[in-house]
Chains A and B, each alone.
Chain A
Amino acid sequence: MKLTIEDKLSLLASSAKYDVSCSSSGSENNYKTGELGCTHNSGICHSFTSDGRCISLLKVLLSNICIYDCAYCINRVSNDIPRTAFSPRELADLTINFYKRNYIEGLFLSSGIIKNEDYTMQLLLQTLRILRHEYRFNGYIHVKLIPGASKELIEEATLLAHRVSSNIELPSSKSLALLAPDKTKEKLLSPLKYARDISLQQSTKPISMSTQMIIGATSESDFEILKLSSSLYQKALLKRVYYSAYIAVNNHKHLPVPELSKPPLLREHRLYQADWLLRFYGFSYDEILSENQNLDIQFDPKTFWALSNMHLFPIDVNHAPKEILVRIPGIGIRGALKILQARRFKQLHFEDLLKLKISLKKARYFIVAGKDFYRTTSLYTEKIKLALIHQGSNIIQPSLFDRSIYTGEL
């Protein structure tokens, strides 16, 4: 049966949708007169799907044909599903036409493994070449490096794309061996290491890289996951780690049963919050969790940390430096900046904070502001916990909670 381009697009977008590592931020303006396309450094969402996720890039697989059999993947060779592929030309034309109409910021291209790694990487590269050289397209391109593809191909991809990534998929080697026997952590990370070395040799700023981990398919604790993320950030290998609540699509003896399992969205949400603390709030992974611990469900990671460290509180908002202000539960980076700006002009009291639209619902238990502090609940962990639970500020509204993937304010 011959598929129309519309059928192909539906199929190949649908196969790519579980990959969440899709954001177009972090590229400098690269405007060239008279050429098509330009990136924007804070990332732009062009629409939001009915599950509330941002559409920024044309996220598709070049093909959902795959010779491998990763247990968790819908495209694994042992699944009986319709298979198809775009030609590089079709995909390049689609990208240009979507871009012109401002549907997208650019392309996010990945693929199942057709024939072998190098063959697949070649097809991805051909698409990129048409876009960059023939259409002189400067819009955003994120390409998945195919683990196991040869160095020259990875090098070319690194030079043509804005971001490259390779998914770790599972947080430990043990789980990989169990569920993706063709992959090892080394094999998955090696293209990223090449890519980094290549881009460091170039004089321009190093290419940005990311990865994704599937959460809840295997038994790792949040501690292990955060420790891994933090080591990847520290080696400056990655700009972003994405977490993806496991959505059961296959039956497999080592995996949750599809009919009985729901994606662990709350856990995913807590991991994003904790990741935010690592990247922007100056926390280390072992401050957030201790060995083998999981993130608390009732309290967000910052509140949980504060409750376990009451000896550091209350914090004086009129004197504390920025690094300390951002550690107050309920005060994010924006709140801290407003406090810093305003306190140069007067001593701040609760009333002033409220006027600055800083919510005190959580923060009031943890701060002093001039003569003000929260008198009715004394500074004991258990009492504050009760008060927080009582006011319901920690009961997460399921409809809104994953906003923080993007804003992460706690």
Chain B
Amino acid sequence: MILLYDGSFEGFLSLVYEVYYEKLQVSSIVKQMPDTLLFERFHEVFTDEAKARKVLEGIEKHFSKEQQRTMCHIFLCDTRSHEMALLEYIRIGFKNPQELRNITNASLFYIQNLEKELLSLVHKMYGFTRFEELEDGTLYAKIETKFNIVPFLGEHFCKRLGNIPFIIHDIKRSLAFVKNDDIREIRSIASFETPNYSEEESQFKALWKSFFKAAAIESRYNPKLQKSWVPLLYRTYMSEFEA
């Protein structure tokens, strides 16, 4: 049977609850009603806080901290359909936690790889995120990434930027990590205006571009290699790649 849920973490936990207590045979899990004709049975799971909490308690009891972290990480890979693999992960973990390290199981191998993919994206974006200074001194970064990595970036830059207020804005997901003297949280951003930049901003951007150009060695020119490290996809907000 095909299960439909709302895409939230609580929704997914409610789904796990129903699979267990109503012994559902699941063939796939979707976030949206498919618009093609279905020959299979279809069931919509409604997010239910009580059910979700019950499953969460079970998970906290049975799974190690590290495994719980893995589940959260997988959930941040929101552009992949990871739900079937995650369900399998939970099932196996409840039966025999030792077995979770068995990467000869396709679902478990998928989870391990997806988590690595997420963490490697996070690592790349630690470097590729670019801040611009606003009039009031706030540092403002725009990002567009295939997975939701705002929580990672928020934490990372809290450690680096000392007392400087900053905002990391995930444009496609309409989310932002906001940090200043009073708050430190992820918010949803309904709409925003182009901010005013500080007077010095364009000068430092120009200096950065000159540095970027001067650091290259002509006799080793190798744009293919460059592209394999910084695929075009990442370059949207990196000023050194602007024409």
Give chain A's interface residues, CB within 8 Å of chain B: 5-6, 9-11, 13-14, 17-18, 29, 31, 34-38, 40, 42, 44-56, 58-60, 94, 97-98, 100-103, 139, 247, 262-263, 265, 338, 341-342, 344-346, 348, 352, 355-357, 399-400, 402-403
Among B157, B210, B224, B230, find the residue whose CB has the most chain A CB atoms closer than 10 A.
B210
Where chain A touches its partner, the secondary structure class is: loop
Are A101 and B164 in contact (CB-based, < 8 A)? no
**Segment touching A, from B8-16, B20-28, B76-84, B213-221:** B213-221
Are B226 and A51 in contact (CB-based, < 8 A)? yes
Q: Does B104 contact A (CB under 8 A)?
A: yes
The interface residues of chain A lying within 8 Å CB-to-CB of B224 are 52, 399-400
Are B104 and A346 in contact (CB-based, < 8 A)? yes
Alpha-carbon separation in the docked complex, A18 to B204 (Å): 24
28 contacts across the A-B interface (CB closer than 8 A): A5-B207, A14-B214, A17-B214, A29-B159, A35-B162, A36-B161, A37-B160, A47-B128, A47-B230, A47-B238, A48-B229, A51-B220, A52-B228, A53-B217, A60-B211, A94-B207, A100-B139, A101-B204, A103-B211, A263-B219, A263-B220, A265-B220, A342-B103, A344-B102, A345-B101, A345-B104, A356-B104, A403-B225
**Segment touching A, from B50-58, B129-137, B170-178, B183-191:** B129-137
The interface residues of chain A lying within 8 Å CB-to-CB of B216 are 17, 49-51, 53
Are B103 and A341 in contact (CB-based, < 8 A)? yes
Q: Does B32 contact A (CB under 8 A)?
A: no
A13 partner, pick from B101, B215, B238, beta carbons under 8 A = B215
- Asked if A10 meets B139 with Cβ closer than 8 Å, knowing A38-B160, A247-B219, the reply is no
Where chain B touches its partner, the secondary structure class is: helix
12 more A-B residue pairs beyond the given contacts A17-B217, A101-B132, A101-B133, with a C-beta to C-beta distance below 8 A: A6-B206, A9-B210, A14-B215, A36-B162, A37-B162, A44-B123, A46-B127, A47-B128, A50-B223, A52-B222, A53-B215, A342-B103
A47 partner, pick from B109, B131, B212, B228, beta carbons under 8 A = B212
Are B127 and A44 in contact (CB-based, < 8 A)? yes
The interface residues of chain A lying within 8 Å CB-to-CB of B240 are 47
- Asked if A50 meets B222 with Cβ closer than 8 Å, knowing A98-B208, A102-B141, A342-B104, the reply is yes
Are A399 and B207 in contact (CB-based, < 8 A)? no
